[in-house]
Amino acid sequence: MKPTFIHRLINGPFEDPCLFVRIIREKRAFLFDIGSIERLKSGDLQKITDVFVTHTHIDHFIGFDTLLRALLRRERPLRIYGPSNITECIEGKLRGYTWNLIREYPLKIEVLSVKEDKMVTSSFYAENCFEKKQGNIFNFDGVILKEPFFRVNVAQLDHQIPCLAFSLEEDFHININKAVLIDRGLPVGPWLAELKKAIREQKSGDTEFVINGGRYSLNELKDIVKITKGQKISYVTDVSLTEENIRKVIELVHSSDTLYCEAYFLEKDRDRALERFHLTAKTAGMIAREARVGNFVAMHFSPKYRSKSETPEDEAIREFKMVKKCALIPEQH
């Protein structure tokens, strides 16, 4: 199965957390948090259309300037999503420079902030020297971005300040059954991408395709594809150790193919985790296990464990893989 989303962390686990997700067929990419992004090549920076910011602590937001500089001459707008103060943080960053020579630059930044059940938009255009333009207020139902084949869901969490967690979810995945294709004597070609697009957009069954001069309706081609569960990638970081947060995270990330989750402190430093509004590695592992995720990546470790023999990763993965003891006790008759 060809995945729709190709994802990777940009930095090591002791450095700024930052997830880069490519959508190959759309030649675009998403960024989850924008800490240091110096390792991204300029070609990758140019693909970024949407940035999802959990909160604006410096390790999650300092890369904004790097991205801004790279995209100043780009036509495609940049959208940034974040908690309630994201707009003023972006405005503050933009106000830190002088912009009298950029009126002919095409860049448009659209900002979307979330607070409880409301979503507020605003924009900053290079042609107006990045003056803020207030947009609209919308009702917010937990989905921050919805496109024809995927959506991004949000959980609003507490990190002493509001902090968002995100889940990128493909509606369903379309696979081509090569055996049926060969059986029917149909060639591989660009028409397969069009067929997938038509299915995603729920086009009518009589939509026509021309393949090698022959005409086929969408209904006639449906046996070539197999629909399976869509890909789900979740990103959670900087979360206070509260029952409410843990419940909301498990609900958001449930059944993810991959969960990226902070594991800032070891369980033995739980008091410190409570003081600093972070998860422990053990709790992160428990969340991943309870949420039945396929693959769990622990990230964002406190630098104090850099040279220690046991890392937060060891503790988090051990907890994730732990089989509950009660399941091992044979049933009594």
| SS3 assignment, position 167 | strand
Amino acid, single-letter form, for residue 303: P
Residues at the site binding Zn ion, with contacts judged by CB under 5 A: 57, 59, 238
Nearer to Zn ion, 57 or 200 (CB): 57
| SS3 assignment, position 277 | coil
Amino acid, single-letter form, for residue 222: K
Nearer to Zn ion, 59 or 319 (CB): 59
CB of 275 to Zn ion, least distance (A): 13
CB of 304 to Zn ion, least distance (A): 14
Nearer to Zn ion, 32 or 150 (CB): 32
Nearer to Zn ion, 17 or 285 (CB): 17
258 neighbors 235 (Cβ within 8 angstroms): no
Whole-number Å distance between alpha carbons of 140 and 152: 12
Phi, psi of 181 (to 5 degrees): -60, -50
CB of 56 to Zn ion, least distance (A): 9
Nearer to Zn ion, 28 or 57 (CB): 57
Q: Which two structure tokens, joined as six digits, stand for 323?
A: 């089989």
> What Å distances lie between residue 119 and 91, 116, 144, CA to CA?
17, 8, 8
CB of 36 to Zn ion, least distance (A): 12
Nearest to 192 by CA among 172, 211, 179: 211
CB of 60 to Zn ion, least distance (A): 6
